[in-house]
Structure 1
Amino acid sequence: MPHRPIAALFAATLALAIPAPPTLATGAPPAAHCSAPVFREFDFWLGDWDTYRVDKAGHTPPGAASVARNQITATLGGCVLHEVYRRTDGYTGESFTIYDATRHLWHQSWVTNEGELLLAEGERQGKAIVLTGAVRDAQGTQLQRVSWTQQGDGVRETAVQSRDNGKTWTPLFDILFRPHRP
């Protein structure tokens, strides 16, 4: 039994020596590695959003129902945006988005409950963040170019696709995120 007090003392000392990591939720400052203004370029997407389809005229029909809930949070000291997207039909996806300072571009990894994977990269173009990546499916390779732009108190996300290595592009989706209303 003489080892029990020593073990307890060691465990208590170890717990004091390794503090819990700070998070943005506790008000801790962003990680020093991610404090430059370029890391905040995509912060307009942070939030708890209801998702609406946009018609060909660029509008959301009056009274349209939300098709998904999308929650974007900052994690890892503010260096990473974590997206959790849940559509009303059961389709779910998550992404991690980070600014890669060594290559001077944004990178996003998107995965879904249907086994999809999209790795997309790009940069700020004017007021938009524009990322391009490739998806492989039964028809071959599909390039996707996705852009996010702040629009009023919301964010508009549009995507186009190409099956001919970027020679021609066709619409894939056009959605608007508005602040979630409980």
Structure 2
Amino acid sequence: MISPRALGLAVLAATGVHAADTPSVPPPGCTSAASHAFDFWIGVWNVTDPTGKTVGHSRIESILSGCSISEHWEGRSGFTGVSYNAWDAKTKSWHQFWVDAQGNVARLQGGPVNGSMVLQSSPSPTHVDRITWTPNADSSVRQLWEASEDGGKAWKTVFDGLYRKAG
């Protein structure tokens, strides 16, 4: 009679499976400081406008083993949107892909500038969006979204929000 262990080894040998062929989990790929430059935005936030009025709530999470950040926005009026943000080691830049429940899409690219994260859209013949996230000493984060209709010569504020951690 063949023992169960011997039978198992015989089956593995017959199928060509060896211990060295078992899949292993690859090491994390996002260990550089650059790939974590946007981590200051991670958290659950209440967002106010410059007058202190609540304009929405946002949940920012580290995903994909720390290689990306997801944003889930819910405005006070019911406006919702999601973004995915990631460091691209090949291009040495951060990217954001945003989509909302009204079908708006934005693609931004950039990186850290003087302690802030600055991402902007590729300019159309005239229009360009620029969003700056600035971490503050009190752990809040200011998000300033500006748009230009003259290729970046003059900027108009679209959104100015202060993110404070939800209690």
TM range (shorter): 0.7 to 0.9
* Superposition map of 1:58-69 within 5 A: 61=51, 64-69=52-57
Shift of 1:161: 0.6
Structure 2 residue 155 is the aligned partner of structure 1 residue 169: yes
> What is the CA deviation profile of residues 94-146 of structure 1, one whole-angstrom value per residue up to 9, with x for unaligned ones?
0000000100000000000011000000011010010001598xxx9631100
Does the Cα contact within 8 Å between 2:116 and 2:133 map onto a contact in 1? yes
Aligned position for 2:93:
105
Structure 2 residue 144 is the aligned partner of structure 1 residue 144: no
Structure 1 outlier segments of 4+, above 3 Å = none
The structure having more radius of gyration, on CA atoms, is: 2
Aligned position for 1:28:
none
Q: Equivalents in 2 of 1:65, 1:157: separation in Å?
A: 15
Change (3 A) 1:134 1:90: farther
Note the residue ranges of structure 1 that are not aligned, 5 or more in a row: 1-16, 22-30, 55-60
Q: Equivalents in 1 of 2:81, 2:123: separation in Å?
A: 15
Q: How many percent identity over aligned positions? A: 30
Q: What SS does the corresponding residue of 2:40 show, helix, strand or coil?
A: helix
Q: Which amino acid aligns with 1:95?
A: S
Structure 2 residue 18 is the aligned partner of structure 1 residue 32: no
Q: Equivalents in 1 of 2:55, 2:129: separation in Å?
A: 21
Instruction: From 139, 146, 153, give the equivalent of 1:160.
Output: 146
Does the Cα contact within 8 Å between 1:118 and 1:135 map onto a contact in 2? no
Aligned position for 1:25:
none
- TM-score scaled to structure 2, two decimals? 0.79
Instruction: From 39, 43, 48, give the equivalent of 2:44.
Output: 48
What is the RMSD of the two structures over their aligned residues, measured on CA atoms? 2.1
Structure 2 residue 146 is the aligned partner of structure 1 residue 180: no
Q: Equivalents in 2 of 1:90, 1:134: separation in Å?
A: 28
